[in-house]
């Protein structure tokens, strides 16, 4: 960031940032720092994976199951290389048992490719060898996922796997005839309904391209540039660092799609400054956690769920982005409003302007970072190319941009990344550029290893659901419990999403929601005679799945933010959750007012929805914080809450009623505090 040298951190803050960086490294890239032959072996596998993915993106992907098989081969080996069996086993040399597990996992995944023609001939009748290798892959996927993301997702997957065998002994609602191991493994391993289904298919194509694109931009300084721009715009306003946290997290969310990485990248700058201007430690950490979670809702990445959603619904990727963009922007503005009200409530000012970078110099210093994003949007929107091709072209543009800009900066003797040491000539500048690009090509596969493993794990759940038909049973249960009432059905689906999504990363969270809870919501709509658009259903469950990831006590982003803030992780998580409460209203509107998703609406209607819903979410923030222009009384909070619901729901009369309610509270509070500042 352009003003990084102005931020003076104390020993505790520096220790907190190091601890948070350790957490994000373990979560995103694995806990092992390899050295010697282990480093070179793992590096060779990672770079080979990048080469394979870029080659297939450039010349065309292999037939579905082959692409997925080879992708998972690399990923599962990298999981055992970089994620140790326990947090304490961090030796720099690979132990023999992880080499064996990596080799077995790679063979089990590649077996489908090596025997592709023969397997086609015996579809539905796997041999004993097929069954043994398939069962081995299931076990190793579960172990790789446990190492990468913890016990919760493998535990859920194991329950579903065992359910395939115990159906005859289950209660009538969930009973089925039961299946043999050969039948279950044949379905999970040798069809595209299980491990090699849509989740791994998307991981092997779109997701890898965009994760690598984000890694390149991050390693070449785009993150620092975006944070610097956010500071120059909002740092001086009331509670400025908190607003910077929201805006910078939204910027980064469009290229990173990871709440914990977002938390550490922006939080290392914003949290110390939030504390410095007057926010309590747990409040500063909570704001950063909520902002980083919000970043996952921002298109085009959306934690990679946008790509899975497009494949799942068999619609163009841009249709998902179109539906998601308006609620995401409204939600970001609502969080900005919430932190603004917090700053007003506690009398917190911003950072003095003289300590902040100026906007125009900061903006123009990194304008070249916007070129790859422009290339991505050009190929997606203007050329209407696939997301994979567009992502590949954006990667090429990002690498070319950085090499060219580094060459220019080396000639001028300037830093190749704003805020860093100047380049000592063309040679050193190009050497640093090459090192940063190779590092990005190495870190991309390390990050993707956990994504692919969790997608494969979620694929097991999908396969068991399609094999046993338990999804229909769950849908029937929700319909019965809701009494065929739409709003009660929505509430029950929300609770199910919040429970199932706890501690599960973004992409598998969406997959689980799409498999288990989305059909239930569709069934409720059908029983109540309400035609719910499919995209609305899937965005509903996606939003609540994301909120589950921030729900205490599991949210890892809260632990990272608490480490930087030196606060209690649980209290930090609850602070984030109270800020996230405003988001609970939006998904209900997806169902009852799909115009918010730009479905069957005009430009003017969309503009009207945007304005009134944004004002409504500000009113909701006022109700949640108990403050508008002064402390709110209980009846004023109730009026603000009702006004928010009325304004967020599209409709002329509801908008007018909501505006009248907000105006009433404003008048009441203004009469009590005529001198209260507005900004």
**Which of residues 224 and 392 earns the better pLDDT score?**
392
Q: Is the pLDDT of residue 667 over 60?
A: yes
Q: How confident is the model at residue 128 (pLDDT cuts 50, 70, 90)?
A: very high
- Position 138 scores a pLDDT of 96
User: Do 274 and 263 touch, CB atoms closer than 8 A?
Assistant: no
- Position 140 scores a pLDDT of 97
- Taken as a whole, the chain contains a residue count of 679
Per DSSP (E only), the strands in 197-267 are none
- Position 570 scores a pLDDT of 84
Q: Is 409 helix (H, G, I), strand (E, B) or coil?
A: helix
- Position 426 scores a pLDDT of 80
Q: What is the mean pLDDT of residues 492-519?
A: 82
The string of pLDDT tens digits covering residues 274-316 is 988 888 889 998 898 888 887 777 776 666 777 788 888 888 8
Q: What is the mean pLDDT of residues 552-575?
A: 80
425-443 burial, b at 16+ Cβ within 10 Å, e below that, comes to ebeebbebbeebbeebbbb
Q: What is the mean pLDDT of residues 174-201?
A: 91
Least confident piece of the model among 65-69, 155-159, 189-193, 427-431: 427-431
Written as one string, the DSSP assignment of 512-569 is: HIIIIIHHHHHHHHHHTT----HHHHHHHHHHHHHHHHTSTTT-HHHHHHHHHHT--H
Least confident piece of the model among 2-6, 535-539, 621-625: 2-6
- Position 406 scores a pLDDT of 86
CA distances 529 to 486, 517, 593, Å, are 9, 19, 15
The string of pLDDT tens digits covering residues 414-471 is 777 766 667 667 888 888 888 999 999 999 899 889 889 999 998 999 999 989 988 7
Q: Is the pLDDT of residue 556 over 80?
A: no
For the chain, give every domain's residue range: 202-270+308-449, 601-679
**Which of residues 299 and 157 earns the better pLDDT score?**
157
652-671 burial, b at 16+ Cβ within 10 Å, e below that, comes to eebbeebbebbeebbebbee
Q: Is the pLDDT of residue 631 over 60?
A: yes
User: Do 65 and 112 touch, CB atoms closer than 8 A?
Assistant: yes
Provide the 8-state DSSP code for 380: I
* Number of CB atoms found within 10 A of residue 651's CB: 16
User: Do 451 and 207 touch, CB atoms closer than 8 A?
Assistant: yes
CA distances 23 to 29, 216, 260, 381, 448, Å, are 10, 21, 8, 37, 17
Q: What is the mean pLDDT of residues 369-378?
A: 88
- Position 19 scores a pLDDT of 66
The string of pLDDT tens digits covering residues 197-225 is 988 998 898 888 888 888 888 888 888 88
Q: How confident is the model at residue 12 (pLDDT cuts 50, 70, 90)?
A: low
Residue appearing with tokens 């068991």: 464
Q: How buried is 115 (Cβ within 10 angstroms: 0-12 exposed, 13-18 middle, 19+ buried)?
A: middle
Q: Is the pLDDT of residue 136 over 90?
A: yes
* Number of CB atoms found within 10 A of residue 61's CB: 18
Residue appearing with tokens 């720099």: 92
- Position 530 scores a pLDDT of 82
CA distances 120 to 114, 187, 533, Å, are 12, 13, 37
Q: What is the mean pLDDT of residues 245-264?
A: 78
Q: Is the pLDDT of residue 13 over 70?
A: no
**Alpha carbon 17 to chain centroid distance?**
21
Q: What pTM, to 2 d.p., does this model score?
A: 0.86
Written as one string, the DSSP assignment of 661-674 is: HHHHHHHHHHHH-T
Q: What is the mean pLDDT of residues 515-542?
A: 87
Q: How confident is the model at residue 3 (pLDDT cuts 50, 70, 90)?
A: very low
Written as one string, the DSSP assignment of 285-324 is: HHHHHHHHHHHTTSTTTGGGHHHHHHHHHT--HHHHHHHH
Instruction: Show contacts of 127-130: CB within 8 Å, 24+ apart.
Output: 130/185, 130/186, 130/189, 130/190
% residues pLDDT > 90 (the chain): 27
């Amino acid at each position: 960031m352009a003003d990084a040298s102005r931020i003076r951190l104390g020993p505790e803050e520096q220790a907190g940032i190091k601890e948070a960086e350790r957490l994000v490294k373990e979560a995103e890239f694995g806990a092992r720092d390899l050295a010697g032959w282990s480093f070179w072996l793992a590096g060779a596998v990672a770079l080979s994976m990048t080469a394979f993915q870029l080659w297939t993106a450039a010349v065309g992907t292999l037939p579905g199951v082959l692409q997925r098989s080879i992708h998972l081969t690399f990923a599962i080996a990298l999981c055992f290389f970089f994620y140790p069996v326990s947090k304490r086993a961090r030796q720099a040399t690979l132990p023999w048992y992880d080499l064996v597990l990596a080799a077995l996992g790679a063979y089990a995944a590649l077996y489908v490719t090596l025997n592709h023609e023969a397997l086609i001939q015996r579809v539905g009748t796997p041999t004993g060898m097929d069954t043994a290798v398939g069962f081995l892959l299931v076990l190793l996927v579960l172990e790789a996922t446990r190492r990468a993301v913890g016990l919760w997702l493998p535990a859920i997957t194991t329950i579903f796997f065992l359910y395939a065998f115990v159906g005859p002994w289950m209660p009538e609602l969930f009973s089925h005839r039961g299946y043999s191991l050969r039948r279950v493994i044949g379905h999970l391993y040798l069809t595209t309904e299980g491990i090699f289904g849509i989740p791994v298919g998307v991981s092997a194509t779109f997701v890898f391209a965009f994760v690598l694109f984000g890694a390149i931009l991050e390693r070449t300084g785009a993150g620092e540039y975006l944070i610097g721009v956010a500071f120059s715009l909002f740092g001086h306003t009331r509670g400025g660092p908190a607003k910077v946290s929201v805006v910078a997290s939204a910027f980064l969310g469009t290229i990173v799609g990871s709440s914990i990485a977002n938390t550490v990248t922006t939080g290392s700058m914003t949290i110390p400054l939030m504390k410095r201007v007057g926010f309590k430690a747990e409040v500063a950490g909570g704001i950063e956690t909520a902002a980083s979670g919000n970043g996952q809702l921002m298109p085009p990445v959306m934690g990679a769920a946008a790509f899975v959603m497009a494949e799942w619904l068999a619609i163009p990727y841009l249709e998902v982005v179109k539906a998601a963009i308006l609620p995401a922007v409204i939600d970001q503005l609502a969080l900005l409003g919430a932190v603004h009200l917090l700053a007003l409530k506690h009398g917190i000012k911003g950072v003095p302007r003289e300590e902040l970078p100026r906007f125009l110099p900061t903006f123009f210093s990194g304008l070249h970072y916007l070129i790859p994003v422009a290339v991505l949007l050009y190929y997606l929107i203007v050329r209407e190319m696939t997301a994979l091709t567009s992502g590949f072209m954006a990667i090429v543009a990002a690498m070319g941009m950085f090499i060219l800009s580094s060459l220019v900066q080396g000639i001028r003797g300037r830093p190749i990344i704003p805020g860093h040491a100047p380049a000592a000539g063309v040679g050193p500048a190009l050497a640093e550029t090459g090192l940063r690009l190779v590092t990005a090509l190495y870190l991309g596969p390390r990050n993707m290893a956990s994504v692919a493993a969790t997608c494969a794990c979620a694929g097991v759940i999908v396969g068991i659901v399609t094999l046993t038909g338990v999804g229909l049973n769950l849908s029937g249960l929700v319909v019965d419990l809701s009494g065929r009432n739409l709003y009660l059905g929505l509430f029950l689906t929300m609770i199910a999403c919040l429970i199932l999504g706890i501690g599960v990363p973004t992409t598998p969270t969406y997959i689980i929601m799409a498999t288990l809870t989305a059909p239930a919501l569709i069934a409720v709509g059908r029983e109540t005679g309400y035609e719910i658009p499919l995209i609305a259903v899937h965005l509903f469950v996606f939003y609540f799945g994301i909120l589950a990831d921030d729900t205490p006590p599991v949210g890892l982003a809260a632990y990272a933010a608490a480490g930087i803030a030196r606060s209690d992780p649980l209290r930090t998580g609850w602070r984030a959750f109270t800020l996230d409460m405003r988001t609970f209203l939006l998904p209900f509107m997806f169902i009852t007012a799909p115009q918010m998703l730009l479905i069957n609406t005009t430009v003017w209607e969309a503009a009207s929805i945007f304005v009134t819903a944004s004002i409504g979410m500000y009113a909701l923030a006022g109700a949640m914080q108990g403050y508008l222009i002064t402390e709110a009384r209980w009846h004023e909070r109730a009026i603000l809450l009702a006004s928010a619901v009325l304004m967020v729901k599209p409709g002329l009369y509801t908008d007018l009623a909501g505006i009248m309610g907000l105006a009433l509270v404003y008048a009441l509070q203004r009469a009590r505090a005529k001198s209260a500042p507005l900004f």
